Amino acid sequence: MPIYEYEHIEAACSLGPVFEVEQTVREERLRACPACGRPVRKLISRSSFSVPKSNGALKDLGFTKLVKRDNGVYENVTARGTDSRYVHRDRPETLPDLKKTISD
Ligand SMILES: [Zn+2]
């Protein structure tokens, strides 16, 4: 079962400001703390959800991000080395070279 984090909206109780609850995916989110009954809100788990924000961070993680610039034309904002900056849908030679990106 996944573990969800909840935060007390007002004052915390003995569980602390943030506490974890094991719940099934189908279970409804808690609206009140099981210990003190005060209102709580669900947090997006910091451990399982980590979305890199910048193009540089994506690039470091090995992602390729294409941004549509025109009909059939995408800018490769994570271009590496000799990668083409612009990817044209009908020109396969403009696609990033994955063999160079994936070293292991
Ligand atoms: Zn509480």
48-92 residue pLDDT tens: 555 667 888 888 877 888 888 999 999 999 888 888 999 998 998
Residue with tokens 């990033």: 96
* Distance (Å) from CA 17 to ligand 1 centroid: 8
3-state SS assignment for residue 55: helix
Amino acid occupying residue 80: R
* Distance (Å) from CA 45 to ligand 1 centroid: 19
Find, among 51, 27, 28, 9, the residue nearest to 19 by Cα: 9
Predicted pLDDT of residue 103: 63
Global confidence as pTM: 0.48
The confidence band for 96, taking pLDDT boundaries of 50, 70 and 90, is confident
